[in-house]
Structures are given as structure tokens and as C-alpha cells.
Amino acid sequence: MTVFKAALVQMRSGVDPARNAETMERLVGEAVAKGAHYVQTPEMTGILCRDKTVFRAHLKPAEADPVVAAARALARRHAITLHLGSTAVEAPGGMAANRAFLIGPDGETITTYDKIHMFDVDLDKGESWRESATYQPGTEANVADIAVGEGTARLGFAVCYDMRFPELFRAEALAGAGILTAPAAFTRQTGEAHWHILLRARAIENNCFMLAAAQGGLHEDGRETFGHSIAIDPWGRVLAEITGDEPGVVVTEIDTARVAEIRAKIPNLKNRRRFEAPAPRGDCAPASGEAEARG
């Protein structure tokens, strides 16, 4: 059995990585003061900036990125596992990667995850996003073990828009993840409609905890995000939530024994069966390079 305290840091990142790193440092300190052993920050902790010139001026390789360096120093200073929900780092071909970093108590990177699914959508009221114009999508699902409490816990990774693709989370659950993560910068419009439903569904269908730190409020670049950082148990019950969009910290206790308990009650992962399906057509035709989840 592994019991530990997990914290979700809610931010309102702006266009200056140095200021965002200072905010991260302060809020992570609050989380540690509340007893957290694992702390997660939101998607794009390091910078939220629509101005492409300003954005690219701050873009650096991961090994030279000041926000990644600050996160590593924080993990080491507080002897915690720090999950930098994501930040933008330089990728080949003049693109950026929306990359999550899992950092151990020694300040070393345990693993990374690049956001796979790009938010290319046209919403109501003229709101439009084309992440694929800036970011190179990831190609691999990932899980990693962390030392917590008296044992270990296995985490699965996702970032924001990924949560609309259940096959990603299923692949990670089948690879042994008992805790799924989805740090995000969800728009207010989509968040009001879908945030709670999607996250609870991913937790329930995989009998996993779900931890999702979020950006919240009106940002310097004009975008508005939903907030509501949330922790959900494998039964779909909300354990803790920041009920709004203000920056802050929420801490909850995670008992990993709950995963086995729920999977014994509802063994849907074991009961799944292979089946034949018609080929996707029309709007559902697969995108170029689509990967098939195995298992």
C-alpha cells in the first residue's frame, strides 16, 4: 500500500518565463508546506504567449530552459517529485515541443512526455486555435514509477487536449498506471462544458486516479482559461478541487490501494475483448501518422 499527499498548482502564466518561474516557486513552496510529496503544475507553466516573435525569443532547448532548471532546483530543495505539467522547449525544424517533465527529489529528470494531440479547432464566437502551426506533436505514450510513501506509484501522462482521446489513457492503464495525469490550459468555453465530465470519465473507465493541474483566469496575452484544478479517485469521486480560476494550491491524499479495490469491483480492464470495427470514414478518417494503441 502506498499513501501520499499530492498537490495541484493552479497558475495564470504570462509572457515572461522568469515571472512564471517565481510564481511556480512560491506555489510549490505552499504545496510543500501543506505536506505534499508529489506536486504537479499546469500545462505551459513557463509561458503563455500568442505573440509568435516574443514566444520564439524565449524558446530554448530543454537543457538550457530556465523554467526547467528552476523546477529541477525546486524538486531538489524540497526533496519532492515535481511534475512540471508542461512548458515549451525547442524542437527540431524550428518547431516547439509542449513537454512535461517528471523530476525526482534529487533534481534529476525521471522522464518526459510530449503532448501528442494538437488543439486545432474553431470554436464559437470566433475563437480559433492551431497548435500544429507551432508545436511538433509527440508520438509516444509514457508511464513512470515514482517513490512515494512506503512504496511506488506508476503515473501515466497526458497534456490538456489529450484528455479527449481515451485510447491514450487506456494504453497507459494497461501498462500499469494507477494514476493518470492531465495538466491543462483548458479554454473557459470548453472547460465550462467538458472539463469535469472528461476527467471523471477517464478516471472511471480506467479505474485510476486522475490529477489535473490547470491554468486559470484572464492571461496577459488575452486568452482565458477555466481553472478548476482537480483530483479524482478511481470511482470518479472528486477528492479535491480549486473551485474557480484563481491561482492557488490544492492538496489531497492518494491511497493507491484504492485502484486495486475498484478494479476488483469493476474489472473492465480484464473484461475487455477484441472486436472487428468498420473503417473510419468522412470526418473520422485517421490523420496522417496516426498511431494505433496496442495491448
Q: Which residues are catalytic?
A: 43, 115, 160
For residue 42, give the nearest of 74, 11, 71 by alpha carbon. 11
d(CA 112, CA 47): 18
User: Is residue 139 within 8 Å of residue 116, measured between CB atoms?
Assistant: yes
Rounded (5°) CA angle 172-175-178:
70
Which residues are CB-neighbours of 271 under 8 A, at least 6 positions away?
none
User: Is residue 249 within 8 Å of residue 7, measured between CB atoms?
Assistant: yes
Element (H, E) at 129: strand 128-130
Burial of 207 (0-12, 13-18, 19+ CB in 10 A): buried
Beta-carbon neighbour count of residue 192 at 10 Å?
Answer: 12
Rounded (5°) CA angle 77-111-129:
105
Report in angstroms the alpha-carbon separations of 47 from 54, 55, 168, 260. Answer: 10, 8, 26, 38
Beta-carbon neighbour count of residue 65 at 10 Å?
Answer: 23
d(CA 215, CA 264): 35
For residue 23, give the nearest of 230, 216, 192 by alpha carbon. 216
Report in angstroms the alpha-carbon separations of 17 from 14, 22, 131, 206. Answer: 8, 9, 20, 35
